[in-house]
Structure 1
Amino acid sequence: MAPTLAQLRAVDALARTGQFSRAAREIGVSQPTVSAQVQAFESASPFRIFHRDGHSIRVAPEAESLVAKIRIALACLDEIERDMRGEGGAAARRLSLGFSAHRLIMPILSAFVRRHGEIRVVTRGGPSAELIEAVLKGDLDLAAISRPAPDPRLVCFELARCRIVVYGQKGHAALASGAIRIADLDGQKMVLWNRLSGTRSLLDRLAEAAGIVLDPVMEVATLDVAYAAAAVGIGLAIAVEGEVEADEHIDVAVLEDAGSDIGHYLVTLPEYVRHAAVAAFLALAAEGVVGPAPARF
């Protein structure tokens, strides 16, 4: 039996909130109604939709793709309803955008906000692998991520192809020439992104291929912390070219090894490409509005 719209809304609300009571408040029905709608949907499904552990409810791994499609379908339905009410354009629309390198996405994001001020943009920073999973689950409409090659599970629009740079405290001997090789990092103290980062994953692969062991004395999750740690001499840090520039506190050197470049991609699910807000963002990206924003730490 085909699922009803009420069932889809109940499943989506429960997936996002993790509680029947919160899901009920969000969609404006009673808690027993949400429970009945979810139960009816689960009964018709060939696999488990939710895992329940006491008061904690989460989407089962095998249902993540299905729940993402439900979220997309409901977003498209909301667009249809707005158009049918004559609101047209992008009125009251929303775009959820994740990014791993804020300086690289900021020029296009600022251009998008100027051109489409009627679309409410909700942003989220994080490492590339984490953002990809959020897109696959439908938690994000679109993400700007860094990785060596496109992800075959997603539609990938390449914004730029960038080199990796290594930076550290002003006057660091390893950075004096403005160029560095992966072998030069052998024995160096490092300030590295966590392992969900695309640039960290690439550096780890290059180090393994070169037969060296990196020495991360500190792992970070934000660029400002990485910069501050490198600037005071805790260790050498890495970034996508354009994220950091040499200044009175740090020197920067380009990593010259073959295969050390990385792509910066906008990624979304195939089902979302024609969604109005996503399509508008991708269209602006296609115009070539991209480049590093001014650094501020």
Structure 2
Amino acid sequence: MKKIGGGTMDLLQLRYFRTVARYEHMSRAADELHVSQPSLSRTVARLEAELGTPLFDREGRRIRLNQYGAVFLRHVERALSELDDGRRALREARGGGLGKVSVACETLLTIAGLLARFRAAFPRADVRLFQADAAEMERRLRAREVDFCVASQALTGPDLDSVELMREEVLLAVPLGHRLAGRESVTIAEIAEESFVATRPGNWQRALLDRLFAAEGRTPEVTCEGDEPGATQDLISAGLGIGLVPAMSHQVARQVGTHAPVAWTRVDAPDCHRVLTLVWRRGAHLSEAGRAFREFTTGRSLRSMLHPGLQ
């Protein structure tokens, strides 16, 4: 415990504060922490009294992290993260394995082949995988809930490092028999009135679609919206609309066949591509498994690892 302004600030107070700051809602924070709301409120109030500064603005039952709370939160996140890293390092030192590596990705299918190869090469590594959109991946990285993100959108921040793993063209997939089937390329204007199969806002496919249309002063008509980019081709094949699909999926379909046949065409628009990057937090503790994963991922051809059947 640490003395501050004549009071005693402990780790429990800091963890409680961090959770309340994340939710800006006492009831939700209390549910996650498995404590009563009155107890949580008293703990946060005691911390504010000891610091001599309010950390939240309160409007009735609503609370908002204020400018002082935001400043304090940055230091609390760093301090608690260092302690969590220390615990991980001790567990790894006591254990006989390589430790744990946690990875987040927008679509789990993207790195299935990569993880299969990694597990085969490092069977003693404990691998944890999470699905998340770009905003959730950034949050998980900063909270040290994951070691790496395999992202198809830019994750930015002064404390994040990244390396480009792969760049691929994104094609337009249309149902067989569609009026655009057989076309070599199409413009945004030619598909402006079409119905689109897309992912929800926050995912890379939706971000790319919205960006391409915004460049032409238009908004796409999304009539089928989901959370799993890997399902897009199946939905297009079922006739629910047209959509953007990475070129690698087209190449795999040609080589190994597919249960969801579609017709493919290029999009005549600048930067219609997907960039996969590996992102991690600079200076964060990495287990032996984490260090092996980074070296394994950045030192090989990701193309063949993502789709082992594609040569």
TM range (shorter): 0.7 to 0.9
Equivalent of 2:156, from 151, 156, 165? 151
1:78 Cα deviation after fit: 1.4
1:198 Cα deviation after fit: 2.1
Is 2:200 the partner of 1:185?
no
Corresponding residue for residue 268 of structure 1: 280
Corresponding residue for residue 78 of structure 2: 69
Q: Deviations over 1:219-261 (max 9, x none)?
A: 1211354233211111002133324554462122233422222
Larger Rg: 2
Is 2:95 the partner of 1:87?
yes
Q: Deviations over 1:79-135 (max 9, x none)?
A: 332366x43652xx3333211133332232222323333333222223333323332
Alpha-carbon separation, structure 2, partners of 1:22 and 1:221: 24
Equivalent of 1:135, from 137, 141, 145? 141
Corresponding residue for residue 307 of structure 2: 293
Alpha-carbon separation, structure 2, partners of 1:50 and 1:70: 24
- Alignment RMSD, CA only? 4.0
| Contact 2:107-2:228 at 8 Å conserved across structures | no
| Contact 2:56-2:63 at 8 Å conserved across structures | no
Q: Deviations over 1:241-287 (max 9, x none)?
A: 32455446212223342222231112222232x42243332111121
Cα–Cα, structure 1 residues 18 and 266, in superposed 2: closer, same or farther, change >3 Å?
farther
Q: For structure 1, which runs of at least 5 residues remain unmatched after alignment? A: 26-30
Q: Secondary structure at 1:242's aligned position in 2?
A: helix
**TM-score with structure 1 setting the length:** 0.74
* Aligned positions of 1:99-118 closer than 5 A: 99-118=105-124
Q: Secondary structure at 1:249's aligned position in 2?
A: coil
| Contact 2:194-2:241 at 8 Å conserved across structures | yes
Corresponding residue for residue 239 of structure 1: 245
* Aligned positions of 1:35-54 closer than 5 A: 43-44=50-51, 48=55
Q: Deviations over 1:37-78 (max 9, x none)?
A: 766655449663899998x99998836645543453233211
Letter in structure 2 aligned against 1:87: G
Q: For structure 2, which runs of at least 5 residues remain unmatched after alignment? A: none
Cα–Cα, structure 1 residues 255 and 208, in superposed 2: closer, same or farther, change >3 Å?
same
| Contact 1:24-1:34 at 8 Å conserved across structures | no
Letter in structure 2 aligned against 1:138: R
Alpha-carbon separation, structure 2, partners of 1:164 and 1:64: 40
Alpha-carbon separation, structure 1, partners of 2:128 and 2:52: 32
Letter in structure 1 aligned against 2:298: A
Cα–Cα, structure 1 residues 221 and 83, in superposed 2: closer, same or farther, change >3 Å?
closer
Equivalent of 1:78, from 53, 76, 87? 87
Corresponding residue for residue 28 of structure 1: none
Moved more, 234-243 or 128-137: 128-137
| Contact 1:105-1:290 at 8 Å conserved across structures | no
| Contact 1:191-1:230 at 8 Å conserved across structures | yes
Letter in structure 2 aligned against 1:240: P
Letter in structure 2 aligned against 1:76: D
**TM-score with structure 2 setting the length:** 0.71
Corresponding residue for residue 176 of structure 2: 170
Q: Secondary structure at 2:193's aligned position in 1?
A: coil
Q: Percent identity?
A: 19
Alpha-carbon separation, structure 1, partners of 2:193 and 2:31: 54
Letter in structure 2 aligned against 1:75: D
Q: Deviations over 1:149-198 (max 9, x none)?
A: 56244212211112222212123232413433333321111111111112
Corresponding residue for residue 199 of structure 1: 205
